[in-house]
Amino acid sequence: MWLFTRWGFFSCACTPLADESGESEVDPNGLSVRSRLRSHLEKLQSHLPDLVGNCEIEEYPDSDYRYRIYVDKAIWSQVMISLCQELNYDNFREEMVQEHSMDDPGYVKRLSEVASIMKNLQNGEAEAP
């Protein structure tokens, strides 16, 4: 699951587990919350310290998502509830542009690009591979 928030972009997936044979399975109760920027995880931790503030940010320099925290699904469910309950706008991209563009201008620019790409998808405009 990809999640674009006021605090950053996160990719959430089940935590992989390796068994003795080297085969990978997933932990049905654990999540890896991944980010391309450490600052995005740090902002989330600062915003929700009771839920994810104590999670260690691990760095994987050679991975697609360099920074990760690991959380129980039950905790992440509470994070999602908190994020939903605090929504107070009717347009996420506009909120970011108008209210938070100075917080992280590069992130806000990328959000606008993603919005444009997804609008093209809606309009049936395929991008070249």
Is residue 48 located within the same domain as residue 35? Answer: yes
32 assigned to some structural domain:
yes
Count the neighbouring beta carbons within 10 Å of the beta carbon of residue 15.
Answer: 17
Contact in structure between 10 and 35 (CB atoms under 8 Å): yes
Task: Give the count of domains, the chain.
Answer: 2
Is residue 75 located within the same domain as residue 31? Answer: yes
pLDDT over threshold 70, residue 42 = yes
pLDDT over threshold 70, residue 37 = yes
pLDDT tens across 78-123, in order?
999 999 999 999 999 888 988 887 888 999 999 999 999 988 888 8
pTM of the predicted model, to two decimals? Answer: 0.86
129 assigned to some structural domain:
no
